[in-house]
Structure 1
């Protein structure tokens, strides 16, 4: 099975533009009449629904921010009454009030559709056994992938996150063919497998769909080598729908956005101006089929770019580049913009280290300092002190050349850095702003 829905995934640009325009116009009417915040935002800009006639008019509309969902907590952004909402999800709320999202029955159907496309892009079909190791519950990951797997008729193993040894045992005994989890957890599974003496050849795994956190090309190579699979990047966020907003195909040259449901833009994060195709900037999404909580021009804070050229796989949907960082978790160290993914790419070039690291930022005598903890692999740890010191110097030099700033590199013993069964914690910022 090459595509799940070829009529949408391989639609001509003219057809897509026509469909998006119709759906955008209807969505603008829906939010204007049903969401007080949107009506107020549009009135402040002097805009009425009738002013939106083409896709080019999208840039006239106001942006939506995560704080808008928090400020209207819990249901203020809903465009449908609670009597029509069949599912409610929410973020963890670790940085404030949780963002609450609601789904109508049609929204659940849409979500199943886009995650079905995601899984088929990774090679799944009705004969697949899909182990879902994303968290279930209020987090959108687990249930989102689950419904997509059922949509294509695959067998679902809804194990959720955690209990890693059991995960691996089930993977081996049940004959799991596709793994769905965060990339950092996939690497942790590979590590535990090696401890248990289970080889990748003992499994039937063929592919993995990994998302919910940033990861580099080098990390992909590490996962593919250690698990013997094809690792596919997937993208989503609960505010837009959850997993399924975009996905890589086997070509691995960008993530196909499900454009018949979500319109992407790239903007300058400082000015808010729309940037031309190919430019790197902040990714913005407008949902054009959602009923429960449709969003206009939602600022994701993710850094990406858009490519409208037809992919070798035959899909015509726009491709967003792999997210390279975020505008809001970007570290500014001595005036230099630093993304953890940049450092990860450097570290994974070296064969003597494990793919586990921690960035510690502090301020000493009014000067920002960066310390990078990197785990050694067992071979280096057992080696001479001189070899370890030489490795530290090489990594420090490579990071300075990449970032343009100096950093202290500390190679630590294997298993020193805390493991995660969800999103890995990569940064500790001790500075007081």
Structure 2
């Protein structure tokens, strides 16, 4: 099947490369010639594990190419996927990129009689495809649905694991407004033998938001309970979480007596909050849309409030033992919002470093791949910190070490002499008994 994808960000590029790997002929469209040139040379402009290798493979097979020529790309196909960004603007998603993309498709359709299905993959609030998208195309083309097809195919890709998530999904949601578009979605995903959910487009849109909102709610609930445990004292929240997670409703017992240990349990582990391009933006968007509909949206508001201040727990706990940080050197390990990606959007490190700088601390920071993006995100404030490529070299020079991102290499701290240091493990990455000679802090654990 021939398909054109508009957008080459995390979603568009990963989707395009993976669809090509399944034998479809994919053309990705971007307005930037430098990005297109890099992609056609086999060099992705974003970092994602396995992406570079898979991109090279599909280019060599002839199933993938990138272009800036939208018209030619549309001439080749009957199915178009829109995967442009929908950034947050004051808690409300900005649909300007989506509007621009579908308007150009509408202009193309004005002088073309072929039946083309436009499938939205960008994350948009419920009711966008069958209203905003449809109206933009109708206005630009002078044609009215169902003279063209409309679909919505939400993504469930975790940055750092996006290739595996796309190639081995747990379900695929096929949102459609007309039978022909459903048929094309079925053909597109025919190589995948998993549960497929067939619904109208606004249901498909809400599935994405509901999925992320419930996961985020679980994270914030666990963090609030962890903060309570630390305030009360003489409790390690991980002992509490272990007891909770043995409830068979969380962790079913198989017939042989073993536990299933589902991945959902990972969202019970407390930390310094969720970040990235999806959870914060999606919860804010759902909250804002609910308020526009006259709902109070109390739970989503609470989830956002807990998450907003959670990174500050690091400074608060350190301050409970050290009142004056101006003479302390602190090493921050991890700048990406999660391991496996160079994405720093809504990273806890941004707030943690900002808080510590305001107290006069000297900051060293490390991340294996996200350092440049982090510096760009901090702007002029980046000049106040020292970003290092060799974090081990700074162990002896620092007083406090804070693990913010769970990069595997940081487990090496268990094999380093940390005598006299303070270790703050926000991700519960280290075994407490292996951190010898250091004072160990964590979310949900109060030192006496």
TM-score (norm 2): 0.25
Name whichever structure is richer in strand by fraction.
1
Greater Rg by CA: 2
Higher relative contact order (CA 8 A, sep 6+): 1
TM-score (norm 1): 0.26
